[in-house]
């Protein structure tokens, strides 16, 4: 606690990530526990280390009192167990963290890659469940790629998707191969889906925003104490002759759109159909495992994803929450993002009184394969400047 206070007072730190919180919370340190047997795993005197919880409550309470203005200090817990009330205020009986790292999300993406699940076999329902697996009003930081991929010897998402072709075919002067085309498309969609559905904050790990091909490898005996890979190749994204620029441009556009509409600070997405929608600012409407399509609304933006590897839908009908004119404000297939520009008009789509996905109105749109579209109900837009 003294160290934490020192960093605030001496260096004006405004954020703390508590590493390995799961190993602190439990007497078994989280080893060989899947945390699937109910709340007794979180509130058992035999399993929970009450002294550790007391310390975490004290340090969180102290940090927030030292910088009492809202959002002046943020504390984030690295916890994979899903400890209940970990991210609720101490005054409510919680442990006091502001956010939990959504560690299961990058694990889910890695599971798909490492087990070599074919694109046509991806379960959209399971993906949606993994991205929304958090408690109401316990905020999560979502991220698609973690330090295990970018720092300590695993493969980055870009490398899992494009492998050795990244060294040969990322030049704009080389042909767009099927591997590179798939990799660029899925890299954008994975980041957008994670950011839009996975939490109340979003995190990039050094280079993920432009598809960095390799991890950082610190000097060690295994590489003859070399510093060669102990850096990030930021120049890759700045080189106009390389396709990394497309992934970087998309990241910029995605964050610009979020900054404009602020979906991350809206109430979180709920992965069920029985919740009263009026109480929420977000809801999943379609999860179609056959079509590989998922659609949802968050803070007046409507998201539509088609993960199908080959099937494009000419007139796909989506249920939408409100009637009106829906205009595309982000298209992952845009040429500026290295896409194929299969959608050539952004004039807008008027809803019709046809029920779909539990909604009284719907729109029909062309949705190309491996493409995500973001729509906004035009008459609700305060700032109608299109985000490119």
Q: Is 287 helix (H, G, I), strand (E, B) or coil?
A: strand
Residue 25 lies in a domain: yes
C-alpha 76/C-alpha 230 separation (Å) is: 26
Phi-psi map region of 44: left, alpha, beta (phi>0 left; psi -120 to 50 alpha): beta
Residue 111, domain member (yes or no) = no
Whole-angstrom distance, CA of residue 372 vs CA of residue 190: 10
Residue with the bigger pLDDT between 277 and 123: it is 123
**Mean of the pLDDT values across residues 275-298?**
76
Task: Identify whether 385 is part of a domain.
Answer: no
Percent of the chain with pLDDT over 90: 70
Owning domain of residue 39:
2-101
- Residues labelled as active-site residues: 19, 78
Give the model's pLDDT for residue 379: 65
Q: Assign 31 a pLDDT band (cuts: 50, 70, 90).
A: confident
117: in domain? no
- pLDDT score of 1: 94
CA distance 343 to 366: 8
CATH code for the domain in which residue 304 is found: 2.60.40.1180
Residue 257 lies in a domain: no
Q: Which of 39, 66, 101 is the last residue of a domain?
A: 101
Q: Residue 107 falls within a domain, yes or no?
A: no
Domain count, the chain: 2
Q: Which of 41, 72, 101 is a domain's end point?
A: 101
Query: Residue for token digits 């005197």?
Result: 45
Q: Is residue 40 part of a domain?
A: yes
**CA pair distance 214, 155, nearest whole angstrom:** 7
Whole-prediction pTM? 0.90
Question: Does residue 164 contact residue 135 with C-beta atoms inside 8 Å?
Answer: no
How many Cα atoms sit within 13 Å of 281 on the Cβ side? 16
Mean pLDDT for the stretch of residues 218-224:
86
Q: What is the pLDDT of residue 281?
A: 45
What DSSP character marks residue 264? Answer: T
Question: Torsions phi, psi of 340, nearest 5?
Answer: -95, 0
Does the pLDDT of residue 271 top 50, yes or no? no
Task: Give per-residue pLDDT as tens, 55-106.
Answer: 999 999 999 999 877 668 999 999 999 999 999 999 999 999 999 999 999 9
In a domain, 336, yes or no: yes
The string of pLDDT tens digits covering residues 126-149 is 999 999 988 888 999 999 998 777
Q: How confident is the model at residue 213 (pLDDT cuts 50, 70, 90)?
A: confident
CB neighbour burial string for 345-354, b if at least 16 within 10 angstroms, e if fewer? eeeebebeee
Q: Which of the two residues, 171 and 270, has the higher pLDDT score? A: 171
User: Where a domain ends, among 74, 101, 128?
Assistant: 101
């Amino acid at each position: 606690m003294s160290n934490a206070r020192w960093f605030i007072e001496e260096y004006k730190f405004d954020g703390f990530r508590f590493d390995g919180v799961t190993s602190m919370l439990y007497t078994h340190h989280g080893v060989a526990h899947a945390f699937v047997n109910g709340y007794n795993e979180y509130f058992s005197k035999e399993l929970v280390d009450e002294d550790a919880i007391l310390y975490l409550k004290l340090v969180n309470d102290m940090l927030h009192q030292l910088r009492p203005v809202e959002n002046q200090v943020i504390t984030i817990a690295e916890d994979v167990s899903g400890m209940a009330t970990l991210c609720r205020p101490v005054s409510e009986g919680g442990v006091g963290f502001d956010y939990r790292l959504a560690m299961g999300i990058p694990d889910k993406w890695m599971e798909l890659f490492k087990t070599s699940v074919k694109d046509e076999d991806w379960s959209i329902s399971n993906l949606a469940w993994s991205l929304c697996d958090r408690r109401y009003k316990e905020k999560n930081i979502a991220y698609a790629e973690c330090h295990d991929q970018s720092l300590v010897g695993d493969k980055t998402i870009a490398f899992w998707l494009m492998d050795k072709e990244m060294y040969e075919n990322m030049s704009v002067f080389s042909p767009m191969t099927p591997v590179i085309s798939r990799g660029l498309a899925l890299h954008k969609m994975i980041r957008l889906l994670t950011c839009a559905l996975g939490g109340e904050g979003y995190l990039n790990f050094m280079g993920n925003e432009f598809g960095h091909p390799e991890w950082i490898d610190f000097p060690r005996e295994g590489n003859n104490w070399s510093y060669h890979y102990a850096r990030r190749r930021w120049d890759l994204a700045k080189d106009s002759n390389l396709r990394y620029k497309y992934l970087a441009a998309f990241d910029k556009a995605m964050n610009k759109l979020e900054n404009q509409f602020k979906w991350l600070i809206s109430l979180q997405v709920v992965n069920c159909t029985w919740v009263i929608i009026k109480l929420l600012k977000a809801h999943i409407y379609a999860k179609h495992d056959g079509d590989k399509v998922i659609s949802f609304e968050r803070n007046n933006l409507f998201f539509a994803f088609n993960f199908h590897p080959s099937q494009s839908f000419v007139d796909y009908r989506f249920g939408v929450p409100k009637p009106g004119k829906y205009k595309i404000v982000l298209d992952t297939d845009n040429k500026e993002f290295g896409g194929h520009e299969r959608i050539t008009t952004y004039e807008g789509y008027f809803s019709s009184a046809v029920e779909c996905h539990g909604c009284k109105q719907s729109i029909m749109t062309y949705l190309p394969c491996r493409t995500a579209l973001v729509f906004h109900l035009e008459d609700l837009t305060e700032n109608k400047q299109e985000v490119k």
